[in-house]
Amino acid sequence: MDWTHYALKFRLLSPMHIGYRKVGNLMQTRQYVPGKNLWAALTARLTRDHHDGSQGKCYQSIGGLVQQHFLFGYLWPSLDGIEPYFPWKHDDFDYQFLDSYSSAALDYSSNSALEGSLHETEYIAPMARTEKPVYLLGDLWVKASLPKELVDWKREMDNLQLGGERAYGWGRLSCFSDWNNVQHGSGRTIAGHEWVEKSGRIVLTLDDNDKIIAHALASGPDAVANLTGTVEPLVGREWGEFAGQCTPFTGVGFAPGCIVNKKTEFEIKNYGRWNFLEKLTS
C-alpha cells in the first residue's frame, strides 16, 4: 500500500479568516479550510524550520515534495472534536462559528479615519456561541516512504497557522490528531464516505444525494450531469519569482455542499480537490 490515512483534528486557538469574497465592506470567510491552505501552511513550517526560509526557491522545492507525498482533505469546524458540523446539516452554523472584526486606517492629519478605509473582516471564532471550543476535522493521506526533507511533518502539524491576518496572530492551531489511528488500503473519511486505494490513487465513492466536502472539478459533461449546486473558478496566488506573483486558473469546480445525483467515484488530487471518474467500478 502506498498511502496511509490519518484523521486530522486541530483545536482553533485564535480567529481564522479563510479568504472568500468581498460584499460591500465585509471580507467574508469560507466556512471551511481548503486543502491548499493546509498544504501551504505545512510547506511554510517545514521550509522555515528545517531549510532556508529566506529563499523563495526553497518554498517551491519543499512545496513540490509535499504535493507529491501528501493528499489533504478539507478541514471542517466541529463543536465536539468528533463530528464535523456541516452547514447544510445545521442551520445555526453561521451563528455558532462566525464573527467579524471592524477596522479602519487612520488619517493623522485630520485625526480621523481615512476616507473609504473602513472594512470588516469575518472570521471563524475559536470559541462557539455556546462557549464550546472550536475544532477542525479533516482527512490526510501520506505516502509510506518520505524524503528526509519531510520526515518531521507530524511535529510541524502542531505549529501550523492558517489563513489571513497571521501577523496579528490569527489562524493558530493546536494539533490533537491521534497518529496511531490509521487506515491502510481502504476506510472511511470524516464524513463517512468510503475510500479505497487503486493503483496508487485515492478514490472516494459517494451515493446519490450525498454532498461533496471539497471542490470537485467540473471536468466534462458527465461531471456536470452528476452534480448539482454552485460552481466557482479555482484561482489563487502562488510563488513565481516571489510570493504571490502568479495567479493560475486551474479550472471550474463545484463547491463543497453540492449534491451528488447518482453514485459517483472521485479521485483526490492536489490541494484536496476531487476529480470525477467516468467509469464506476463495481
Helix, strand, coil share of the chain (percent; to 5)? 20, 40, 40
Rg of the chain over all Cα atoms, to the nearest angstrom: 19
Q: Supply the pLDDT for residue 282.
A: 41
**From first to last of its 282 residues, what are the pLDDT tens digits of the chain?**
699 999 999 999 999 999 999 888 889 999 999 999 999 999 999 998 877 666 768 888 999 999 999 999 999 999 999 999 999 999 999 999 999 988 776 666 766 666 666 779 999 999 999 999 999 999 999 999 999 999 999 999 999 999 998 999 999 999 999 999 999 999 999 999 999 999 999 999 999 999 999 999 987 777 778 999 999 999 876 655 665 556 666 789 999 999 999 999 999 999 999 999 865 444
**Among 28, 38, 21, 9, residue whose Cα is nearest residue 163:** 38
Buried/exposed code over 28-45 (b: 16+ C-beta within 10 A; e: otherwise)? bbbbbbbbbbbbbbbbbb
Q: Which residues contact 111 (CB under 8 A, 6 or more apart)?
A: none
The SS3 assignment for 85 reads coil
What are the cell numbers at 278? Answer: 467516468
pTM: 0.91
Which pLDDT does position 140 carry in this prediction? 98
Domain ranges of the chain: 3-104+114-277
| Per-residue 3-state assignment (H helix, E strand, C coil) for 166-232 | HHHCCCEEEECCCCCCEEECEEECCCCCEEEEECCEEEEEECCCCECCCCEECCCHHHHHHEECCEE
The CATH fold assigned to 3-104+114-277 is Alpha-Beta Plaits (3.30.70)
DSSP H helices, the chain, are 35-50, 56-69, 93-97, 153-156, 221-226
Predicted pLDDT at 25: 86
pLDDT given for residue 248 in this prediction: 66
List the grid coordinates of 162: 492558517
What are the beta bridge partners of residue 102? 120
Three cell numbers written together for 66: 509535499
Separation CA 110–CA 108 (nearest Å) = 5
Q: Going by C-beta distance under 8 Å and a sequence separation of 6 or more, which residues neighbour residue 247?
A: 235, 236, 237, 238
